[in-house]
Amino acid sequence: MTRTIPRPRSTPFAAPVAAARALRAGGVVAYPTEGVWGLGCDPRNRAAMERLLALKRRDPAKGVILLAADLDQLTPFVRLTAEQRAYLGQRWPGPETWVVPARLGTPRWLRGAHPTLAVRVSAHPPAAALARAFGGPVVSTSANRSGRPPLPDARAVRRAFGPAVHVLPGETGGRERPTPIRDLASGRQLRP
């Protein structure tokens, strides 16, 4: 008698775990954020970051955003006072990106030509689940070629980038645009 072993059912946790595995292997992952599809990689993996920048044709001097599931995930990369942490803690998780002082040793491939780093703690379920499954922040930059509009869905991402990216299924959070970016030191809005 042959015994059939049932295949494991896909769970809501399987997709972020597979995407986190791709990140750990040096891959680039496309994932839905609050407003647009993002491309990400392991922020500590320079080769992965170079692949991501090449895919986008993005100038490395611009820097990128780090997206996290909670503020503690950003601690190795940013230098915040207790007052600044409390201030950001009142605004996060949510669809706001903040430019904050980078910790000494934060790689230039993340900061670009700046002494600061753009960071966000996301409440959007797929993006936050990816950072949780990865165990740390993930690079976040819009899924598009530089200077082009962000891609609207997973199908467009697959068409544009093909097998060069692992796609985390899901939907964006319904915002019309990428998240606003503000400077923590001045409060100035850098991107509406």
Please, where are the H alpha helices in 13-124?
14-24, 46-56, 82-91, 108-111
Q: How confident is the model at residue 63 (pLDDT cuts 50, 70, 90)?
A: very high
pLDDT at 144 exceeding the cut of 70: yes
| C-alpha distance from residue 78 to each of 12, 19, 70, 113, 115 (Å) | 31, 25, 13, 16, 10
Question: What pLDDT does 13 receive?
Answer: 60
pLDDT at 166 exceeding the cut of 80: yes
Question: What pLDDT does 75 receive?
Answer: 97
In the three-class reduction of DSSP (H, G, I as helix; E, B as strand; rest coil), residue 76 is classed as coil
- Amino acid identity, position 24: R
pLDDT at 46 exceeding the cut of 70: yes
Alpha-carbon 164 to chain mean position: 17
Structure tokens at 6: 């049932």
Strands (E), the chain: 28-32, 37-40, 65-68, 97-101, 116-121, 138-142, 165-167, 181-183, 189-191
How far apart CA 44 and CA 47 sit, in angstroms, is 9
Residues 142-168, mean pLDDT to the nearest whole number: 94
How far apart CA 14 and CA 37 sit, in angstroms, is 19
Question: What pLDDT does 177 receive?
Answer: 84
| C-alpha distance from residue 168 to each of 11, 35, 54, 141 (Å) | 13, 15, 20, 15
Question: What pLDDT does 145 receive?
Answer: 94
Domains assigned to the chain: 14-183 (3.90.870.10)
In the three-class reduction of DSSP (H, G, I as helix; E, B as strand; rest coil), residue 62 is classed as helix
* pLDDT tens profile 88-143: 999 999 999 999 999 999 999 999 999 999 999 999 999 999 999 999 999 999 99
The residue length of the chain stands at: 192
Structure tokens at 123: 């409440």
Question: What pLDDT does 174 receive?
Answer: 87
pTM of the predicted model as reported, rounded to 2 decimal places: 0.90
Write down the mean pLDDT value for the chain. Answer: 92
pLDDT at 15 exceeding the cut of 90: yes
pLDDT at 155 exceeding the cut of 70: yes
Q: How confident is the model at residue 152 (pLDDT cuts 50, 70, 90)?
A: confident
In the numeric block, the tokens 């207790």 are attached to 82
Structure tokens at 7: 């295949």
